[in-house]
């Protein structure tokens, strides 16, 4: 068991509001997550390392189930997937959203029921489609006109496959240009404004082996307000009503995608899930009543909000360089395990763990070890002025889109994933080693 001890004067950087709920303070500047000391984890598993709080993941799944009891909640595997994650999500009663044969096979071979999986992708490969059909995936979301014929042909004249059509509802939302997907002019979905959505729906309905169960949209990611979802839902219902009028079909499902935003730094806004659930329910009932449409079953696909706040990244400080105005704190990971600051300008809140410092704070730039000046993990953050090589830094809200987007850059190797729960730690995914790099390279 861990003992929570507060330092006499809490440093300004001692805000734990964005950390997993299980986080406790230990003596001498230590911190425990899931009842396990982060400093001990760093000793035992080495750094960099990713820690995933199983209880936090499960609790977040339950929050979704409680907030959306009548909806289908599909965890978006792209945020982070491992066999343990597959099991947790399944045990908590969620379905799964995957976007490749790789994610799909991992999930199904880990025991996830394929009929509760939805396959996405703006460019599905022949292997994606073949794997989906072989494993019996629940639904395939059509994202371009050519897929209709490809999927139909692969299913065969006597086969049967449930599908949805991804629609662009014309709502712009999301934390960065690169992750806004709700309007025309980006690669995802089919637009009602130029008629391509209606055309795809009509063609799909004309394929006897394809069963169109509903429409899908995903307007963007890291969205922190409810309004864009409400507007998107209204437009989706209007389109469903128009399709009923034109084709006489009442589609039973409406998938509103994911994108639910989280706070990466204390004080930042997160999407209010209770408000989202309430307002979507009200809008769904009202807009269906206005068009006389039978209320479809809602589906949602959260990724980040399930996995993100459950993860903590651990790094060891390798060098501290004071140049002019700047203090650079260089750690043993970087853009190969977290490309998000470089890609989207995301700001994180690292903190010193495992040592209590009384030094005055300094403004520092936490950088990685990669061969690029843009390899910055956290720009202009507050750290103790005596930060030095050997110190341990922990970065909260590291569970989503970090390891799943990790690369082999500079052959540093991807960090391990360690699950913590009720005072015990276990390795979920081992560290990538030089042997892994060498064994893939068969060029002689
Ligand atoms: N459904 C679909 C169809 C999606 O494309 C996505 C995310 C989700 C659900 C889950 O979205 P979430 O709830 O996790 O926001 N790499 C970026 C995020 C890209 C999101 C891509 N699609 C990042 O690191 O912020």
Give the model confidence (pLDDT) of 361-387 as tens digits: 999 999 999 999 999 999 999 999 999
Alpha carbon of 174 to ligand 1 centroid (Å): 10
Chunked mean pLDDT (size 10), the chain, 444 residues: 39 83 97 98 98 98 98 98 98 98 98 98 98 98 97 97 97 90 92 97 98 98 97 98 97 98 97 98 98 98 98 98 94 98 97 97 98 97 97 98 98 98 98 97 90
The set of residues, in sequence order, having a beta carbon less than 8 Å from that of 5 and lying 6+ positions away, is 25, 26, 27
Q: Which fold has domain 54-308?
A: TIM Barrel (3.20.20)
Evaluate: CB of 392 within 6 angstroms of ligand 1.
no
Look up the pTM and report it. Answer: 0.96
Say which CATH architecture domain 24-51+311-440 belongs to. Answer: Beta Barrel (2.40)
Evaluate: CB of 397 within 6 angstroms of ligand 1.
no
Evaluate: CB of 189 within 6 angstroms of ligand 1.
no
CA-closest candidate to residue 361, choices 2, 94, 11: 11
Query: Which pLDDT belongs to residue 10?
Result: 42
Q: How far, in Å, CA of 54 to CA of 20, rounded?
A: 10
Mapping DSSP to helix (H, G, I), strand (E, B) and coil, where does residue 386 land?
Answer: coil
Pairing mode of beta strands 253-255, 210-216:
parallel
Tokens read off for 131: 């794997």
Query: Which pLDDT belongs to residue 88?
Result: 98
If you write DSSP's letter for every residue of 28-85 in order, what string do you get? GGEEEETTEEHHHHHHHH-SSEEEEEHHHHHHHHHHHHHHSTTSEEEEEGGG---HHH
Domain coordinates in residue numbering, the chain? 24-51+311-440, 54-308
On whether the CB atoms of residues 397 and 405 are closer than 8 A, the answer is: no
Q: How far, in Å, CA of 229 to CA of 28, rounded?
A: 45
Alpha carbon of 40 to ligand 1 centroid (Å): 33
Q: Assess whether 61 carries a catalytic annotation.
A: no
Query: Which pLDDT belongs to residue 109?
Result: 98
DSSP structural state of residue 406? -
Ligand 1 atom nearest to 257, measured from its CA: 1
Q: Ligand 1, residues 257, 264, 405: which to mutate, most atoms within 8 A of Cβ? A: 257
Query: Which pLDDT belongs to residue 8?
Result: 38
Provide the angle, in degrees to the nearest 10, between the axes of the packed helices 126-135 and 145-155. 50
65, 160, 387 from 311: Cα distances, Å: 21, 40, 23
Give the model confidence (pLDDT) of 120-167 as tens digits: 999 999 999 999 999 999 999 999 999 999 999 999 999 999 999 999
On whether the CB atoms of residues 334 and 350 are closer than 8 A, the answer is: no
Q: How far, in Å, CA of 412 to CA of 418, rounded?
A: 18
Give the count of beta carbons closer than 10 Å to the beta carbon of residue 442: 6
Alpha carbon of 118 to ligand 1 centroid (Å): 14
Query: Which pLDDT belongs to residue 13?
Result: 64
Burial 43-74 (b: 16+ CB within 10 A, else e): eebebbbbbbbbbbbbbbbebbeebbeebbbb
């Amino acid at each position: 068991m861990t003992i929570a001890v507060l330092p006499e004067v809490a440093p300004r950087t001692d805000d734990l509001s964005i950390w997993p709920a299980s986080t406790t303070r230990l003596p001498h500047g230590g911190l425990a997550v899931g009842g396990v000391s982060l400093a001990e984890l760093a000793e035992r598993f080495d750094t960099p390392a990713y820690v995933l709080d199983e209880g936090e993941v499960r609790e977040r799944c339950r929050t979704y189930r409680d907030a959306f009891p009548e909806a289908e909640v599909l965890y978006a595997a792209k945020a982070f997937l491992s066999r343990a994650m597959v099991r947790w999500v399944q045990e908590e009663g969620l379905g799964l959203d995957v976007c490749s044969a790789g994610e799909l096979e991992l999930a199904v071979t880990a025991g996830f029921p394929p009929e509760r999986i939805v396959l996405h992708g703006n460019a599905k490969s022949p292997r994606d489609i073949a794997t989906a059909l072989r494993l019996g995936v629940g639904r395939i979301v059509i994202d371009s006109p050519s897929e209709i014929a490809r999927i139909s042909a692969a299913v065969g004249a006597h086969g049967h496959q449930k599908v949805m059509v991804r629609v662009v509802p014309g709502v712009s939302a999301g934390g960065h240009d690169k992750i806004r997907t709700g309007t025309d002019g980006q690669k995802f979905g089919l637009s009602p404004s130029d008629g391509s959505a209606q055309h795809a729906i009509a063609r799909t309905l004309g394929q006897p082996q394809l069963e169109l169960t509903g429409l899908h949209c995903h307007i963007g990611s890291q969205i922190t307000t409810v309004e864009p979802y409400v507007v998107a839902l209204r437009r989706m219902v209007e389109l469903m009503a128009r399709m009923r009028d034109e084709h006489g079909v009442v589609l039973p499902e409406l998938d509103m995608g994911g994108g639910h935003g989280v706070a990466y730094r204390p004080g930042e806004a997160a999407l209010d899930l209770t408000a989202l659930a309430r307002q979507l329910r009200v809008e769904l009932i009202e807009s269906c009543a206005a068009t006389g449409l039978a209320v479809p079953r809602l589906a949602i696909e959260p990724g980040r909000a399930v996995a993100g706040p459950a993860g903590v990244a651990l790094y060891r400080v390798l060098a501290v360089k004071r140049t002019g105005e700047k203090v650079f704190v260089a750690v043993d990971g970087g853009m190969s395990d977290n490309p998000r600051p470089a890609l989207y300008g995301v700001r994180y809140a690292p903190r010193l763990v495992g040592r209590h410092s009384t030094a005055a704070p300094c403004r520092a730039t936490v950088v990685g070890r990669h061969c690029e000046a843009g390899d910055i993990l956290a720009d202009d953050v507050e750290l103790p002025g005596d930060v030095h090589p050997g110190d341990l830094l922990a970065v909260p809200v590291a569970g989503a889109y970090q390891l799943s987007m990790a690369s082999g850059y500079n052959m540093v190797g991807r960090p391990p994933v360690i699950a913590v729960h009720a005072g015990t730690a276990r390795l979920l995914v081992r560290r990538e080693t030089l042997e892994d790099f060498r064994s893939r390279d068969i060029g002689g």
